[in-house]
Chain A
């Protein structure tokens, strides 16, 4: 019996949709068939990762342009969870950003670091006229 789940969502490039996308991540954590870990923790982490990745796409890559759209694609199997967030931006060096030191009193710079802490593999790749942030979490 297949346990593959694929979700594709496209929303306007507006931060008011962050809560909705985050909740989808939370629901997914409680729905995954064979996950043996702490579901409550996974739910919070997926909410957080989706919120950070979406906010990055909306506010930075797409420069808060409300006429643009953000596409999110989530694929879950027994073994892994793959989240892809597509934007229309020029791109940036995500590996470099993830290594920058954030001081306790810095107001920004934590979003990408949170994604790297909570996911097992993170890549930011050119895709068409924009980029895709691909984040993978191993479930076993």
Chain B
């Protein structure tokens, strides 16, 4: 999975530079987030601007990141969901778990 990691102070932004997050590549995101948590970086923003498709594995990776961040007293927030991705979240309900922002700037300001 192609990821762009940008550190801004206490917050790490992960841009998912893929059209799809599915069972083929979502394990890479999970692994990257675990590395960040091990390095003590527990406030994450996942930028989904490029993502057009998410399956249950992709959602599972995000939920895993959310739980791990919360367990370390950090947080994982999402931004820039395309309409199809948002409808997938509504279909499967984890949108009730995440803080979701329209823009990266709004997500940054929330920290």
Interface residues of A (CB under 8 A from B): 15-16, 18-19, 22, 40-41, 44, 47-48, 51-52, 55, 58-59, 104-108, 110-111, 113-114, 117-118
Inter-subunit contact B60/A44 (CB<8 Å): no
Inter-subunit contact B92/A114 (CB<8 Å): yes
Inter-subunit contact A16/B24 (CB<8 Å): yes
Inter-subunit contact A110/B92 (CB<8 Å): yes
The answer, yes or no, to whether B88 is at the interface (CB within 8 Å) is yes
How far apart are the CA atoms of A105 and B76 in the complex, in Å?
13
Q: Which of B6-14, B35-43, B51-59, B103-111 participates in binding chain A?
A: B51-59
How far apart are the CA atoms of A114 and B55 in the complex, in Å?
9
Inter-subunit contact A108/B97 (CB<8 Å): no
Q: Kindly identify, within residues 54 to 111 of chain B, every residue whose CB is under 8 Å from any CB belonging to chain A.
A: 55-57, 59-61, 63-64, 66-67, 84, 87-88, 91-94, 96-97
CB proximity of A50 to chain B, nearest CB, Å: 10
- Residue numbers in B under 8 Å from A106 (CB-CB): 63
- B96's nearest neighbour on chain A, judged by CB, is A104
Interface of A: prevailing SS: helix
* B55 contact from A16, A55, A104, A107, Cβ within 8 A: A55
Interface of B: prevailing SS: helix
CB proximity of B16 to chain A, nearest CB, Å: 15
Inter-subunit contact A104/B56 (CB<8 Å): no
How far apart are the CA atoms of A48 and B94 in the complex, in Å?
17
How many residues of chain B get a CB closer than 8 Å to chain A's CBs? 24
Inter-subunit contact A105/B53 (CB<8 Å): no
- Residue numbers in B under 8 Å from A107 (CB-CB): 60-61, 63-64, 67
Supposing A18-B23, A18-B24, A104-B93 touch, asked if A52 and B56 sit within 8 A by C-beta, the answer is yes
Inter-subunit contact B92/A18 (CB<8 Å): no
Inter-subunit contact B53/A111 (CB<8 Å): no
Supposing A44-B53, A51-B22, A104-B97 touch, asked if A114 and B91 sit within 8 A by C-beta, the answer is yes
CB proximity of A90 to chain B, nearest CB, Å: 20
Inter-subunit contact A15/B96 (CB<8 Å): no
**A/B interface sample: 15 pairs, CB < 8 A:** A15-B23, A44-B53, A47-B53, A52-B56, A55-B56, A55-B57, A59-B23, A104-B94, A104-B97, A105-B94, A107-B61, A110-B59, A111-B55, A114-B91, A118-B91
